[in-house]
Amino acid sequence: METNAIETTSMPPLKEKPKGIKLFFVKLLQQRALVIMSVPFLIWLILFKYVPIWGWTIAFQDYKPALGFWDQKWIGFHHFEFLFGDDRFLRVLRNTLAMSAINLVFGFLTAIILALLLNEIRKVAFKRVVQTVSYLPHFISWVVAASIIQTTLSPDGIINELLVWFGFVNEGNEILFLGIPEYFWTIFGASSIWKDIGWNTIVYLAAMTTIDPAQYEAAEIDGANRLQKMTFITLPGIKSVVIVLLIMNIGYLLESGFEPQYLLGNGMNVDYSENIDIFVLKYGIAQSNFSLSIAAGMFKTVVSFILLFVANNVAKRMGESRLF
Amino acid sequence: MKKNKVLLLSLAAALMLSAVTACSGNNSNNTDKPTATNAATGDNGGSEPTKEKVTYTIYNGVAGSKDGNTNETTIGKMLEDQTGVNFKLEFLVGDLNTKIGTMIAANEYPDVLIPDAAMEEVMNAGAFIPLDELIEEHGPNIKRVYGNKLDQMRSADGKLYILPIAAQVGEFIPDPEAGAGFWIQRRVLEEAGYPVVKTLDQYIKLIEDYEAKHKDEKLTGLISLTHDWRFFATANPPMHLMGYPNDGNVMINGDTLEAKTYAGDEATKKWLKTLNDLNAKGLFDKASFVDNYDQYIAKLTSHNVLGFFDYKWQVDNALNVLKDAARKDPSLDKYRYFPLPITFDESITDAYIDAEGGVVTNRGIGITVSAKDPVRIIEYFDNLLKEENQILTSWGIKGETYEVNEEGRYYRTQEQIDKINEAFNEEFGFKYYSWNWPMYGANSTLSDGNAKGVAIQPEVFQMSLTEADKAILGKYGVQTYSQMFAKPVFRPWYPAWGFAKEQNSPEIMWETKKDELTKKYYPKMVLADPGKFESVWEDYMKEFGKLDTAGYEKWTTEKAKAKVEAVK
Amino acid sequence: MAASDVKLNKKYKIQTSIGDRIFDICNYTFMILLMIVTLYPFINVLAVSLNDAQDSLKGGIYLLPRVWSLDNYQYIFKEATIFHATLISILRTVIGTVLTVLCSAMVAFSISRQDFVLRKFVTVAFILTMYFNGGLIPTFLLMRDMNLVGSFWVYIWPGLIGVFNLIIIRSFIENLPESILESGKIDGAGDFRTFFSIVLPLTTPVLATVALFSGVSQWNSWFDVFLYNSSHIDLSTLQYELQKILQNSNTTAGTSGMDGMISGANGAQQNTVTPLSVRATMTIVASVPIIMVYPFLQKYFVKGMMVGGVKG
């Protein structure tokens, strides 16, 4: 940021070099087109996104929707104490982090790999078909998807049938996949990838269109093979998008989703499936306790901000593109 | 750096500013509130029952039918002709607490609100107007139907804000169908020669014997429904096996009215041990604990499951599929299920059949502070409770949807039964008026001796039976399924699961935590190696012991006593 | 763009080595497997939707219906409200998408300009909003105070700019060769002209991506209808009407929880539809129209798009 400021000041050759606030307004006037393109939306942003933050006060109240702001009973950190004080909080936090890390790492990797592989397909028609088909599961709600997953993983489902057929499992000893807590994260990860891999590649494929084909041609003349072209041209070409997305998603590390865990979770795997959102649902939303969900939301926001700034700074240090 | 600071400061300032405006904005909402209330009450005075046509809104917190106007249905039109009132109905689609929360926060309500599970919230928000005077002046039928049961619904301030949905009128006619029970495949009974089965041990033995004789058929002895909120189908049996009706989490002693939970009771241990033994023998379907509801229903229709415990309304879909198949091909009748009154011991009288009780006190219908003309609404309700209109909403129109024989008994012809399908129900209005209005309970008796509920009427029930049904009922010397069970006993507190609980109260907390524990530990106990059952049970009890069960029982006892007291 | 593809293909073909061929075989095999796995759920849902509802309860429907029936579709399409709701869905999708793409692109352009004085402030102000929200009730009250409750615009205003989309567009603009933007400057083009005549055309692939993202989310959303417009039938959307139909089938099947427990005795008639079948059918009804949009947007993702812009 510093460097930018210096750069900009040195650029326009004005008669008298203005300084400080004055410079700021002079520049503002010069860039009025940019101002017109962004400031109205800034007002929109403040109105729609920042104004409702007054709702955070709810976390410190014994909130009753019927009462006005000044009539609420203030109870300090009670809801935070309830959240952090529960025996299960650490476990729930662990599950949240684990599942969202799985999503982050594998979701990213698989989508990028798929995008790279798709990029290598030369038959345009086939490529299009694969792309279209692979993003279909995104349009199936989790309720329906979970039901398909449950059927597939049931003792008489196709996975067990295959295992029996290959002789890995004896008939009658079929595996109760969703009943084994330790399997849950894997099932969750695989399901999420399956559902969204095609959808997630779209942005990378779009990014690849910005790569100048001349680069490939040049590489070919140098005798580069496909793997080399992939690693030295395609990947660097989408790197900035990947990094920006990565930073954004690191900020979401406490958001591991809600529906798949809720729908695939059961009493047997609850130790591994229950995440913060489900906990909040049970003790907050389901009991009309709006305060608890806001308290949990604030906690997530604080963690998000920390992660976001750390990730952004790491990217900055490494000289990569960054979020802000 | 300096510039950054300026930017940050201005950002902060913007935030502060927005927070302040938001607060004041919110504040001004509150000042609206009294005026809105005043307007509503102000209206009260000026409205003599003029009969000009009006439309009021009802928000139904139960996801039910599709939205629409009551006067678009045959029944609704007739009621509009009588009262001049039409209701625009809206049904919940998403999450109830969210929707109700926004209504309360905005202090904008429909004229009539059916808050369902969010009743306490709405009451606390002061959204309902007191009904006592209105009923006194305009509600002769309301008084007749509900009588002193209204006292069971009163709030702490002694006023009545909400009308219960259904009340028992006249003699209690039990449902001919079994509402709950241990179900068994008919072929099992047939092969055993239709024995009298009373105890859990007998029931299990029957299943074991049958399975042993049919090893090659890969049969499942018992499955159990555990999916999500339906877990109670696995948790409730101990209560029934002990001879108590479905009071939710407690068993209530009829004499002392003491409530006792059973989740940590010997009864539960015995039930889970039974399942554990079955599992060890390979007769219990392990997948019960991971299957969803659809998978459970599919298994019940697969012909391979010999028995299960459940409430009929949960398995109706499956039972209907089996019944339809058997209608087309009578040889498939053996795969249908037959309900049995199973208890732990022959000396225990079962209580599976829903008994006459009090009104359900945690559900109801109320008139909100936004209502434009409460008098006409209460008049509509009162008119609805006239016996002729109760017959209209339940039986329909004579000659069209029901007939009366020489003895004055109501029945439906086969033609009428066939005609009344889902589309007809919607168009005629049966669907809109089937529930969530002030009404007679289905088990009520009309003044001419007929049953209020169509399905309760013995004549209608008999018509629904197939030859095979009659044959198997004949083997046990009964005419209806419910006659297999003990006669229901009047329980004025019933049902205890319907006691209204404050959101976020210790009672709700207890229930939430107990549900979590049972969902987690029951599968462990059932699927444990039989040798380890005891130790898992001890683990469970250790956790269960941390809950304030005594407090929950005390609260329930007090509620039960108060409810009984109200109708004395 | 087609021309450049052909050109590339030719070059590849000349140099096809054994390694390349093995790679191709593996790649194609993988793609086919992927298609099987991702196509299956859709086929399965389609099969259930075309199967008799009562029969579907028995389970075991995988690829083909067992008892063919169009009753499930009839059950959905007999609702007259569906058609108007579809119109509203299309309107909100089109208007919402066009506006969000245009507005996000404008902001993205302004914050991609390194010398813009408000750059950092605007960027941070936007990004932070991704990670917090004031909660349901404050948001609801805001919408009410702005008179958006009961209005079509409640579908448009709150989502005017998606920050995620904004950032993606910004990355793309930043990735554009500096020379192109510079060339605009030398021509004496103002920022507006640079934006409309250079940046917008050159970022078509990402704009198509963003349009897809926001179009799909507009099309699929029903929570805002539930929250703000549930009693305004003329503003209902397809997804919301489908949710209603699903709920309706739930109760006719006598499975609505506690009330089923009490009202069951009222003699609910047996029904032809079940939630299971309705859910499958509504998945098809709701997703097919939006899926069809993809092939039209897809051509913008095809490689070589940029070249034309740069060279031409």
Q: Express each pLDDT in A43-52 by its tens digit.
A: 999 999 999 9
User: Is residue C238 in some structural domain?
Assistant: yes
Radius of gyration of chain A (CA): 26
B276 touches chain C (CB under 8 A): no
Distance from CA of A151 to the nearest CA of B (A): 8
Could you tell me which residues come within 8 angstroms of residue B507 by beta carbon, excluding any fewer than 6 positions away?
B501, B552, B555, B556
Helices (H), strands (E): how many in chain A?
Answer: 17, 2
User: How confident is the model at residue A15, as a pLDDT?
Assistant: 52
Q: Is C44 near chain B, with CB under 8 Å?
A: no
Question: Percent of chain C, pLDDT > 90?
Answer: 54
Helix (H) or strand (E) holding B366: strand B366-367
CA geometry: angle C24, C29, C34, nearest 5 deg: 125
Mean pLDDT of the B247-274 span: 95
* Residues of C (271-310) whose Cβ lies below 8 Å from B: 271-274, 276
Cβ neighbors of A240 (< 8 A, separation 6 or more) are A320, A321, C171, C174, C175
State the DSSP string of B500-566.
Answer: ---TT-HHHHHHHHHHHHHHHHHHHHHHS-GGGHHHHHHHHHHHHTTS-HHHHHHHHHHHHHHHHHH
User: Pick the residue with more confidence: C273 or B457?
Assistant: B457
- Which of B306-315, B460-469, C175-184 has the lowest average pLDDT? C175-184
Strand pairing class (B403-404; B54-60): unpaired
Tell me if C115 and A4 make a contact (CB, 8 A cut-off).
yes
- Confidence band, pLDDT 50/70/90 cuts, at residue B32: very low
Domain span including residue A89: 77-317
C135 to chain B, any CB pair closer than 8 A? The answer is no
Using CB atoms within 10 Å of the CB of residue A74, give its burial: 0 to 12 exposed, 13 to 18 middle, 19+ buried. exposed
B chain contacts of residue C259, beta-carbon cutoff 8 Å: 62, 116, 363, 435-436
Chain C residues with CB inside 8 Å of A197's CB? Answer: 34, 38
Residue C303 reports pLDDT greater than 90: no
- C: neighbours with 3+ CB pairs under 8 Å? A, B
Residue A141: predicted pLDDT? 93
Name the more confident of C163 and C249: C163
Chain segment B96-121, per-residue pLDDT in tens: 989 999 999 888 999 999 998 889 88
Q: What's the average model confidence in pLDDT over B146-175?
A: 90
Q: Alpha-carbon Rg of chain B, whole angstroms?
A: 27
pLDDT of res. B156: 85
Q: Which of residues 226-255 of A touch B (CB under 8 A)?
A: none
Best of C16, C38, C191 to substitute, by most chain A Cβ atoms within 10 angstroms, is C38
Q: Is residue C149 part of a domain?
A: yes
> Residue B440: what are its φ and ψ, rounded to 5°?
-70, 145
CB proximity B291 to A under 8 Å = yes
Distance in Å from the first CA to the final CA of chain A: 9
Q: Is A64 on the interface with B (CB under 8 A)?
A: yes
Here the CATH number for the domain that contains residue A163 is 1.10.3720.10
Could you give the CA distance from residue A21 to residue B2 in angstroms, rounded to a whole number?
A: 10
A173 occurs within a structural domain: yes
Judged against a pLDDT cut of 60, whether residue A9 lies above it is answered with: no
A-chain residue closest to C280, CA distance = A144
Name chain B's partners: 3 or more CB pairs within 8 A.
A, C
- Both structure tokens of C274: 């079940």
> Which of A72, A288, A294, A324 has the highest number of chain B CBs within 10 A, making it the mutation to test binding with B?
A288
Environment class of residue A50 by beta-carbon count within 10 Å: exposed (0-12), middle (13-18) or buried (19+)?
buried
Per-residue pLDDT band for C112 (boundaries 50, 70, 90) equals very high
Residue in C with minimal Cα distance to A217: C8
Q: Tell me whether residues C267 and B460 touch, CB distance under 8 A.
A: yes
Which chain C residues are within 8 Å of B293, Cβ to Cβ?
Answer: 255
**Contact B212/C at CB under 8 A:** no
The residue of A83, A262, A268 whose CB has the most chain B CBs within 10 angstroms, and thus the best one to mutate to test that interface, is A268
Q: Is A318 helix (H, G, I), strand (E, B) or coil?
A: coil
What confidence score (pLDDT) does residue C299 get? Answer: 78
pLDDT of amino acid A17: 62
Summarised one tens digit per residue, pLDDT across range A177-226 is 999 999 999 999 999 999 999 999 999 988 888 888 888 888 888 888 88
- Check which CATH number belongs to the domain holding C268 and give it: 1.10.3720.10
Are the C-beta atoms of C235 and C152 separated by less than 8 Å? yes
C265 and B294 within 8 Å at the Cβ level: the answer is no
The residue ranking higher by pLDDT, C16 or C173, is: C173
Chains B, C: CB contacts under 8 A, how many? 167
What's the number of domains chain C is made of? Answer: 1
Contact check, Cβ <8 Å, A267/B520: yes
- C67 at interface of B, judged by CB pairs closer than 8 A: no
pLDDT of residue B16: 39
A66 CA: distance to closest CA in chain B (Å): 5
Q: Is A18 on the interface with B (CB under 8 A)?
A: no
| Mean predicted lDDT score pLDDT of chain B | 88
Residue contact A130–C35, C-beta within 8 A: yes
Instruction: Give dist(CA B106, CA C145) in Å, integer.
Output: 10
Which pLDDT score, from 0 to 100, does residue C188 have? 63
pLDDT of amino acid C264: 38
CA distance to partner chain B, nearest, from residue A180 (Å): 10
Inter-chain residue contact B93 with C263, CB threshold 8 Å: no
- pLDDT of residue A42 exceeding 50: yes
Report residue A290's pLDDT band, with 50, 70 and 90 as the boundaries.
confident
Chain C contact probe: residue of B313, B420, B444 with most C CBs at under 10 A: B313
User: Tell me, what DSSP letter sits at residue B57?
Assistant: E
Size of interface A-B (CB pairs under 8 A): 128
Which chain B residue is nearest to residue A292, measuring alpha carbons?
B504
Domain residue limits at C129: 70-311
Q: What is the Cα B61 distance to its own chain's centre? A: 14
Question: If we measure between CA atoms, which residue out of B314, B164, B166 comes closest to residue B231?
Answer: B314
- Determine contact: B445 vs chain C, CB below 8 A: no
How would residue A16 be classed by pLDDT, with cut points 50, 70 and 90?
A: low
Q: Which of B62, B58, B100 is nearest to B76 (CA)?
A: B58
A8 band by pLDDT with thresholds 50, 70 and 90:
very low
> Within an 8 Å CB–CB cutoff, is residue B66 touching chain C?
yes
Q: Output phi, psi for A29, to 5 deg.
A: -65, -45
**Which of chain C's residues have a Cβ under 8 Å away from the Cβ of B301?**
57-59
Q: Is A237 exposed, middle or buried (0-12, 13-18, 19+ CB in 10 A)?
A: buried
Scored b (16 or more CB within 10 A) or e, B215-246 reads: eeeebbbbbbbbbeebbbbbbbbbbbbbbbbb
B453 half-sphere exposure, CB direction, 13 A CA radius: 30
Given a contact cutoff of 8 angstroms between Cβ atoms, the answer to whether C274 and A104 are in contact is: no
Q: Which residues of C touch B166 (CB under 8 A)?
A: 262
CA distance B309 to B278: 14
State whether A267 and B522 contact (CB < 8 Å): yes
Residue A33 belongs to a domain: no
Fold of B180-351+499-566: D-Maltodextrin-Binding Protein; domain 2 (3.40.190)
- Measured between beta carbons, which residues in chain C are less than 8 angstroms from residue A208? 303
Q: What is the pLDDT of residues A103-154, one digit of tens each?
A: 999 999 999 999 999 988 888 889 989 999 999 999 999 999 999 999 999 9
Judged by CB atoms closer than 8 Å, whether chains meet at A287 and B14 is answered as no
Find out whether A233 and A211 touch, Cβ atoms under 8 Å.
Answer: yes
Q: Are the beta carbons of B434 and C227 separated by less than 8 Å?
A: no
Would you say residue C155 lies in a domain? yes
Rounded to whole angstroms, how far apart are CA atoms B166 and C263? 9
Indicate the pLDDT class of residue B464, thresholds 50, 70 and 90. confident
**Domain extents for chain B?**
42-171+359-451, 180-351+499-566
What integer pLDDT is reported at residue A307 of this predicted model?
A: 95
**pLDDT over threshold 70, residue A7:** no
Architecture of domain B42-171+359-451: 3-Layer(aba) Sandwich (3.40)
Taking the Cβ of residue A51 and every Cβ of chain B, the question of whether any pair is shorter than 8 Å is answered with yes
Domain membership flag for residue A40: no
For chain A, which chains pass the contact test of at least 3 CB pairs under 8 Å?
B, C
pTM: 0.88
How many angstroms separate the CA atoms of B265 and B269, rounded?
Answer: 7
Chain C residues lying within 8 Å of B92, measured CB to CB = 247
